[in-house]
Chains A and B, each alone.
Chain A
Amino acid sequence: MKQTIHFKLNGEPVQIEAEPNLTLIQVLREKLELTGTKEGCGLGECGACTVLINGKAVNSCIFPVMETDGKNVITIEGLADVDGNLHPIQRSFVENGAVQCGFCTPGMVLSAKALLDETPKPTEEEIRNAIAGNLCRCTGYLQIIQAIKEASKKI
Chain B
Amino acid sequence: MQDFINIGKRIPKMDAEDKVTGKAVYIQDLKVPGMLWGKILYSPHPHARILNMDTSAAERLPGVKAVLTGYNTPLIKFGFYKDNMPLKANKVCSYRDEVAAVAATDPDIAEEALGLIRVEYEILPAIFDPEDAMKEGALLIHEEHLGGKEKKPTNILNLPWRLVAGDVDEARKNSAHVAEDRFKLTWVNHCCMGTSGCVARFDLRNNLTIYSNTQIPALAQRDYTEALAAMGLEGKKARVIKTTIGGAFGSKLDTYAYEYIAILLAYKTRKPVKIIFTREEEFFATSPRQPAVIDIAQGCTKDGTFTFRDVRMVLDNGAYTSWGATTPSVMMMPISSLYKVPNVRYVAKCVYTNNTYSQAFRGYGNPQATFAIESQIDALAEMAGIDPLDFRMRNANTPGEVTPQHFNITTCGLRECIDVVAQKLDWRQNRGKRDGRGIGMASMIHVGGGARVYKSDGCGTIIKIDDFGTVNVITGATDMGQGADTVIAQIVAEELGVRVEDVIVTHTDTDICPWDVGAHASRTTFVAGNSARGASKKVKEQLLEVASRSLGENPENLDIRDRTIFSKLDPEKKSPLGKILRASHYTAGGRMVMAEHFYDPPNENLDREFKGNLSVTYAYGTHGVEVEVDKETGQVKILKYVAAHDVGRAINPMLLEGQVYGGAAMGIGYALTEQLILKNGKVINPDFRDYKILTAADVPNIEAVVIETDDPSGPFGAKGIGEPGLVPTAPAIANAIYDAVGVRIKELPITPEKVLAALKEKTK
Which residues in A have some Cβ–Cβ distance to B below 8 Å? 29, 34-43, 45-46, 48, 75-77, 79-80, 84, 86, 90, 93-97, 99-106, 109, 127-129, 131-145
Q: How far apart sit A101 and B655, CA to CA, in the bound complex (Å)?
A: 12
- B32 to chain A: closest CB distance in Å? 14
Known contacts A46-B688, A101-B193, A144-B696; is-contact A139 B661 (Cβ 8 Å)? yes
B278 within 8 A of partner (CB): yes
Q: In the complex the two chains form, is B193's CB within 8 Å of A35's CB?
A: no
By a CB distance below 8 angstroms, the chain A residues around B13 are 94, 97, 99-100
Q: Are B695 and A77 closer than 8 Å at their CB atoms? A: no
Known A40-B194, A100-B481; contact A35-B19, beta-carbon cutoff 8 A = no
Task: Identify the closest chain B residue to A107 (Cβ).
Answer: B193
Give Cα distance in the complex from A135 to B710, angstroms.
35
Chain A residues, Cβ within 8 Å of B654? 96-97, 143
Q: How many B residues are at the interface, by size bracket?
A: 35 or more
B8 lies within 8 A of chain A by Cβ? no
Dominant SS at the A interface? loop
**28 residue pairs A–B, Cβ–Cβ below 8 Å:** A35-B28, A40-B194, A42-B279, A46-B688, A48-B193, A77-B22, A80-B21, A86-B20, A94-B12, A94-B20, A97-B654, A99-B16, A100-B247, A100-B483, A101-B193, A102-B246, A106-B19, A128-B696, A129-B697, A135-B693, A136-B193, A137-B191, A139-B662, A140-B658, A140-B699, A141-B665, A143-B654, A143-B657
Determine the chain A residues whose CB is within 8 A of the CB of B666 once the complex forms. Answer: 137, 140
Q: A35-B29, A100-B658 are in contact. Are A135 and B21 (CB under 8 A)?
A: no
Pick from B21, B192, B662, B688: contact of A140, CB below 8 A: B662
- A71–B689 Cα gap in the complex (Å)? 29
A42 to B111 alpha-carbon distance, docked (Å)? 16
Q: Which residues of A contact B695 (CB under 8 A)?
A: 132-133, 135, 141
Residue of A46, A90, A128 touching B697 (CB-CB under 8 A) = A128
The B449-489 residues at the A interface (CB cut-off 8 A) are 480-483
Tell me the B626-659 residues at the A interface (CB within 8 Å).
654-655, 657-658
Residue among B21, B482, B693 making CB contact with A36, cutoff 8 Å: B21
Say whether B697 contacts A132, CB under 8 Å.
yes
Q: In the complex, how many angstroms separate the beta carbon of B216 from the nearest chain A beta carbon?
A: 17
Q: Is B380 an interface residue, CB under 8 A from the partner?
A: no
Residue of A109, A132, A137 near B192 (CB, 8 A) is: A137
Chain B residues with CB under 8 A of A132? 695-697
Task: Flag if A105 contacts B20 (CB, 8 Å).
Answer: yes
With a cutoff of 8 Å between Cβ atoms, the chain B residues found around residue A38 in the complex are 26, 28, 193-194, 246
Closest residue of A by beta carbon distance from B278: A42
Shortest beta-carbon distance, B590 to chain A, in Å? 36
Q: Check if B556 is an interface residue, CB within 8 A of chain A.
A: no
Collect the chain A residues with CB atoms within 8 Å of residue B664's CB: 140
Residue of B nearest to A127 (CB): B696
- The answer to whether the Cβ of B17 comes within 8 Å of any Cβ in the partner chain is yes
